[in-house]
Structure 1
Amino acid sequence: VAITSDTNSTFGITQETITLPMNCTTSSHKTCCICSANMERNSRTVSAEDRDLIFLKKNILIPEGARCCSQHLDDDRLTKNAIDKVAPFSIQSKRFSSSDVQLLISRWQILFEQQKRFDFDNPLSLSDDEYQILTSLTKVQFEDLASYLFDSNIRNSSNRSIRTALAILLCKLPLGLSLNILAVLFQLPDKKTVSRSLKTVRTALMTRFVPSNLGFNHITRQEIIDQHTSTMARRLMCDAESNTAIVVIDGTYLYIQVTKKISFF
C-alpha cells in the first residue's frame, strides 16, 4: 500500500492517492471477463451495479468498460452462474484518488440502503438452503420456474420485480402467511399490492407453466412408459409387459356432489 500526494500544476490543488494491489479480471473487448472466451460478436458491457456488487462481495475488480458474453446476462444483469464464475485474472496495482474512495463509499452506501429482507433479484443475497426454506425450491429450480414468467405478459413494476412476485407466491403456498405479513417481509406498500402480485403470477403460471408440466396433455402415453415406469412397477402391475402405461390417480381433492339425504356419522 502506497499513499502519495499529487499536485495539479494548473490549479495548485494537492490530492492524496493510494495504490492498492487488486484482484482484477480481464478488460479486453475481445475476451470475456467472466469465462475468458474469445468474443467475436454479441458481447455486452458489464454494468456498474454488477461491478460494484462483485467488488463488494468477492473482492474482485472488474475494470470499467469490461465486456462479457451475452449469455452471461439476463435483463442486462449478470446471472447467478456468471457471478459464480467470476475469478481474478491477475493482481494489478490500482491507484485511487481521494475522490475515487469517496465514490466507492457512496456506492457501497447505496447498495446497503437498497438491500431487502428477501432479495430474490440478487443471486448472492440468499443461499440455496434459504431458497428451499422460503420457497421449497432450490435456486436452480426457482430460476427455471421464473424463466416461464419472463416469456409471459408479466413485467417488472415499481413495487416488485418478476422474481419477487414469484417468490411471494411460493412463500404463500407452503407457509400460509397472511397478505399483511408478506407485505412486511417483501417491503411492499400494502396487502393489495401483494394480492395483485399473487393474481398476476398465478395467471401467468396457469398460462405458461401448467400446460407444459401438469395434466394429461403435457405428456404422451409412450413417455410415461419409457421415462416414468420402473421395472418393479411393471412386474407388480402388469406382469412385466413393456407396452403398458401405469397411472396412479389420487382423487382425494376431486369435487364430487353429494346428495343432502346422506348423513355422515
Structure 2
Amino acid sequence: MSGNANLVGDITLNISRARISSTKCCFRSCSTECPDELHRIPRAIRYEIMKNKRFFIPEKSVACNFHSDYSVLSEINIPVENCAFTAAQIEEMVDLLRSDPKQLKDEGQVLNKNSDAGVKADTGLTREQFQNLFHCLNSLRDCLKNDKIASDYLYTYLMKLRTGRTDEDIGRVFKITRWAVGKRLKCVREAMESDFVYQNVNCLLSREELAKYTTFLSQMLFCHGDINRPVLILDGTYVYIQKSTNYEVQKQSYSNQKKRNFVRIMNCVTTDGTILFVLGPYPASSNDAKVLQSIIQSTNALDNLNADDVLLLDRGFRDCVNLLKEKGFDVQMPALLQRSSNKKQLTTSEANRSRFVTANRYGVETRNGHIKTIFKLFQHEWNPIAMPHLMTDYRICAALINAYCKSIESNKGMATEIGRRMLDRYETPNELSNIVSKNEFQYNLSKFNQFYDFEQLPALTQTDLILIALGKYQIKQAASYCQEHFKSNNFQFAVFECPNNILRKFFANFTTGDKQLKLLMARIKSRFRSNKTHDAYILIDILGQGESVVLAYCCSCYNGLRTVGCCSHVMTIIWFALHIKKPSKMHRPAAFLDNYFGEASSSDCDSSDAEE
C-alpha cells in the first residue's frame, strides 16, 4: 500500500485525529509549547486510545505532561469527528491496530521489559530498590504527571551513572535523541537532589547518632569505654577530567605528581562505611591537608563534633594535624619516619599504633572504591561541559550507597577477639628483632640451612592465620608474594631454618616448658621495587597448637617490628610453611599473565613508591 500512497488522495473517515506537531501538544485544546514538557506518547497508550476512543494519535505527535498520562486520556471526553487521512496515516493506523496487546503492555517502560538481572546491570539497584527510590522522588512524579514516563526518566539517569555510556548510546536504548537524554538527566538530577540526597548524606547528625555508625572494633581501640564518642575517617579522592580551554581551570586541575587533570573531593565516612558528607570540588594543586584546612575555615562540616572526638587520617594530612589538635580533636594517623633520622623502620610502638589506624580505615577506602566500581561514570575522564554537575552526581552516588549498600565491618564475627588481642599486644616488645639484630642473623644466610620438610610442621587454619595477622589483608597478599618467588626460583619458595645449636645459644628466653623451636627465614622480594628484598623471620614451636605455634616474628620492612599483627612478608612464610605446605595446593593469582612481557619481565624497574 505504501508504494501507491502518492496516487491516492486524502480520505475522510469518521475517526478523530490528533494534531501532528513536534513543538505543540497534539490536543488542539492544549496550548503547551515548552519543549521540556513535550513527550512522544508510548505506542501502548496510542493503541488503547485508538481502540476505545476512536482517536488516532500519529507516531510523530507529542503531548504535554498532562496529556501523556493514560489515566487522564481514558477519562477525558474526545468527540468523534470526520477527519481527512492520507494513505500513509491510514497505513500507520492499520499497523497500530494490528499490534499485539500483550507486547504493548509494558512498552515505554524499560523497567518492566528488563529481567531482574538486567535492571541490576543497568542501574546498580534491584527492582525493589528501584521502586523504593522512585516513590521517594515526589517532585519528579509531580513534574511529569505520568509514572511510566517518570520511571523511564529515572532509569535513564541511573543507567548513565552505572554504565558511564555516552548520551548517544543511551539514546539508542530508549530510541530518543541525545538532547532528550540530556533533558531527562537534568530533570532527574534536580529531583534527586531535592528529594533524596540530603535525606541520606550531608546530614549534620548529633554525636549520639554518629556513634551508632561506629564499629565495635573502633570503639574498643579509640573510645576508651565512651559509647557516645564518634570515630570519623577523612580521606580525599579524585575524579579525572579532560583538559579545559579555560586556562585558569586547566592550571588548577593539573597535578604535577600524576601528570593528569583531576578535581579533588573530600569524603567523611564513619568506620562502618556510612558517608556523612562529600565536599568539593577542590583544585588538584591542593593537597589533602590544604583541603581540610579550607573545610575547617569555610564550612560547618565538623561543627557538630566535640573535643576528644576521634579523626582517623592518613599521612597526607600531616600538615594540618596541629590545627586539628588545637581544636581539641583526637587525631590518629600512621607514624612517619623523620627525614633527619637514619632509621629505616618504625619502632615497635610506632608500628603498633599505626596498625590501630590502618585497621579501622577500611570503611573509607572501600567506599571510595564503591563510587567508581558501582557507578562507572566516575571511572572515565569528565568532559568540561559536564563539570558543573559533577559534584551533584557524586553526592547522588554517595546517597545511593548509603541507602542501598550494606554497612561495612571487616573481620565480622571476630571483631571482639581481634580488638582484645590488639590491645593486649600493644605494648609487647619485639624480642625476636632484638636477637636477630644483635647476633647478625640479618642479611646473613650463611647461618641458615634451606628447609624442605614442611609436612613435619603443625598445620594452621584460616582462622589461626587471621588471629596472627589480626586481619585478612596480609593473608590475601601472601599468595601474590609466593607467586613471584615460584616464578623466579623454578617454582620453589626458599625457606631457611636456623641450626639447633644456634637456637639453644641465642633463644633461651623462648625455651621455657615443653617447646621444640624452629627459626625460619625467607628473603621476600618487594612488591614495589625489583631490586629490593625484605628478610622475614618467624620463631615457631612445632609442638604447639593453633595460632600459639607462632611465638614471635619480625621483618626488615617499614612496619616489620610491630607485634600487633604482622606484615605481609612475615605472613607469606607462615601461610606457605604452616598452611599451604605444598606448591600443588596453592592457587597462583593471575598465573595466566606469567611471562607476559617476555624477557623484559626480568629487568629491574626502580620505583619511588613507599613500602607498605
For normalisation by structure 1, the TM-score amounts to 0.49
- Which of 1 and 2 has higher RCO (CA within 8 Å, sep 6+)? 1
For normalisation by structure 2, the TM-score amounts to 0.23
